[in-house]
Structure 1
């Protein structure tokens, strides 16, 4: 979306504010205040929202039986499963691919593809998710065949890239593709034409994992992606044993409800202070690198932060954090460690120059990454995440805490437990830095159609709170595009757009 006119000509397909996953959560309206002045309250409520979303899945036991059976039948026949997603759901797809290959070394029965290819794990590529043809093309290039199964994961239920891959699978395979989302089916059918097309297609099996609103408005990297990863992962792990899967889920929810998350307070304060003091961090992890990099990557578009530094393509703007995998000596080894397989770049330079293998391997997450980060201005702090005595161990700036997990050993529930902890941690760190207001992502970077709409809606909400409720959606979008061209890392797109609109109104004769 290069111009306001281009977006507005098709705005109907991106206006998604009526969907529950895009709505402000009533429990977290004061989240930014708690981040700065009451971390214990912020952590408590974030855990409540996680548990609310997870408990909703318990009611879907009967409905999900068919999904589990489809996954099991594919694996039992020796055929392949392709996990498809964009952004957060793309990263959860790569994570599940990783976990499968760690559990079954040498097996390629589970593969993953995300919009932009593997490099999008660490660096968002603008615009890819808006094109269904790209999803279909990517699927074919990976060798999808007539006996294979596609599982499409889309938090909102409307992502064009995922829909393109799912519809292509419906044309080609004898196995009905599975389409999982987190918004109610009737609402998607009524509001979103491309969703209606998929949900009404008799060749496609669809399931709604209704999570309700996100703790941070629209931030589907949180509850929605957690629930999608959980359900798909349980199906891969338990096969036809749905009772066993849901028994494990009940035990995990019980564990989470009793888990003490207040030890995260010290880590949140220290990391926020490190950035406010002009420093940087680097996360160090071997076993949990895929989960750590998912959380750290997703901070950039959510909070308008610099994406991961690439020493081969310097920009003069440095990422606040990075990842090092101590077990990896080279860039190639670090990618193999992250993915548990060889990387699969798209090699579509005619569409985007950053889809190539050369570009992907220019990111080095091995031991050399620590040396590179030490060369940045300001102090560098290392945040270590590893295992000790069957616990997750977090160490940072002299603080060490251990978290027990119910399914220890690098498995699905271990990684999901860490994911929930990191989501809470990073969200509240960003709140202390003022990177959201209330529970609105006011610093979101509008890099695609969905994010342009989000930023426009948040602008509209804040203007309304100031009694300025007569700006049209089109006016807000045009102002946003004008502001984006000069947006600096120190500015919020929402607040800059508001200032422009109000300033232009004052200056009118």
Structure 2
């Protein structure tokens, strides 16, 4: 083991107790999906039905939270009417949903000055939409710093979302908002209060702080263990988004909208995605690549699902045009109506992109880095120049006034979306894409049972998760080692394992080799 690996492991172990989150509900395996990887390979209709049912249960929980959503709606109404602004923040999946809310707000209010009254930021800035900044979410002071740079002031309202309820970055931003504004910030999360208070001191301080409003949206374990990009981020996006988009409506309008959303999803047949799952996974097995072609209306939800696959399943992330000889990601966003990268980003977000130019992070969240993620009309030729023999297919997901078109190869499907508020169409698309990508990854063996064995250990929470998964697999093989020993093995293998391979399985194999 290198000296660097030892130092990194020891540094993590010195604070590991703050990130031992295995007892949280969001970190538990879901009993309904314990054979999901097998079903993805052998019985897609059953796998699709199970995932759809878990999303139905999520919307059912949302229905039970109407009172809290209406309360948040009233605070948003008063804030806007008083001339102040609404801010949404998060990191990872909750950062993307925060940016999604602002993007949809700008689409709906594109011709009204009120479009500039809603602001979003995520850990690492807009660059992190595509590629998370390693360890950024572990620092509460970064959250505090970004909220200041965002222009948050007295009277403004912050709505911070953390799937697990323990994210240091979000907690730092929320606690800083208490100091800046007389408008109490909101903290939205998906784990039981008592459990959070036991597991994480930082969470207890937020939950017990009378200066912070809390909305608990616990929905149970995730479909893939720990993959909070699924049910947890769905209910957080729905609750926060509904409160915003109905800020000027009465409570009954919210109740009716949620009921309609539930009834639509409950009656919707999403088995059509089976043939798209089979086709997409076959392209990858054949060594081909896929471009998700979309438009400015749906782009934010499409990019969210496609980029979240990288950290969840250890896929190569979207390549950056500024990198030398980059490895190509399996899929990439494609917005053909944008002539260059700058315009593609503006079409995606409905505004100029926001970057972080802090000297201490060496440009990894800078404007130059962001523009290098070029998903404009140039993307096809750019990737061909890198690899002349590349075979690229297009998966078109495009909107019209009444629904969404899906086109891949010879397969087509039109999905009616009878909603007056676009948020609901995006929630439907999100749930469909989450199921589709999860089952594609299952067919590529990127998880086992429902355990995220290909998790990318890029921050302290995920380091802890990876160690727990290593421990789980080893115990099934009758090998038991102390947590500290497993941590040192993991950090050793992080240095030796390619980024698109499973650090969990690589660590297990190394330990088996040395203990036989």
Interval containing the TM-score (normalised by the shorter chain): over 0.9
Please list the CA deviations of residues 107-155 of structure 1 after superposition, one character each: whole Å capped at 9, or x if unmatched: 2111000000010011111011000000111110111100101000000
Deviation at 1:490, TM superposition (A): 5.5
CA distance in 2, matches of 1:480, 1:48: 36
- 1:269 is aligned to 2:278: yes
Aligned equivalent of 1:437: 448
1:256 is aligned, of 259, 265, 285, to 265
Aligned equivalent of 2:305: 295
Please list the CA deviations of residues 340-381 of structure 1 after superposition, one character each: whole Å capped at 9, or x if unmatched: 111110111322421211111122121111222344343110
- 1:63 is aligned to 2:68: yes
Deviation at 1:446, TM superposition (A): 0.3
Tell which deviates more after alignment, 181-190 or 132-141.
181-190
Aligned equivalent of 1:44: 49
CA distance in 2, matches of 1:462, 1:257: 36
CA distance in 1, matches of 2:173, 2:401: 43
Aligned equivalent of 2:498: 488
Aligned equivalent of 2:376: 366
- 1:24 is aligned to 2:29: yes
Q: CA RMSD in A?
A: 1.5
Tell whether the 8 Å contact from 2:69 to 2:243 is kept in structure 1 after alignment: no
Tell whether the 8 Å contact from 1:349 to 1:355 is kept in structure 2 after alignment: no
TM-score by length of 2: 0.95
Alignment of 1:34-433 (within 5 A): 34-105=39-110, 106=113, 107-239=115-247, 241-286=250-295, 287-375=297-385, 376=387, 377-388=389-400, 390-407=402-419, 411-433=422-444
Deviation at 1:57, TM superposition (A): 2.0
CA distance in 2, matches of 1:352, 1:330: 25
CA distance in 2, matches of 1:6, 1:50: 39
CA distance in 1, matches of 2:88, 2:321: 31
SS of 1:179 mapped into structure 2: strand
Tell whether the 8 Å contact from 2:25 to 2:220 is kept in structure 1 after alignment: yes
Tell whether the 8 Å contact from 1:406 to 1:413 is kept in structure 2 after alignment: no
Deviation at 1:408, TM superposition (A): 5.8
Deviation at 1:310, TM superposition (A): 1.1
CA distance in 2, matches of 1:485, 1:267: 36
TM-score by length of 1: 0.96
Q: Structure 1 residues 212 and 20 mapped into 2: Cα distance closer, same or farther (>3 Å)?
A: same
Q: How many residues are paired up?
A: 504
- 1:453 is aligned to 2:471: no
> Could you list the runs of 5+ residues in structure 2 that have no partner in the other structure?
none
SS of 1:322 mapped into structure 2: strand
User: Which 4+ residue blocks in structure 1 deviate beyond 4 angstroms?
Assistant: none
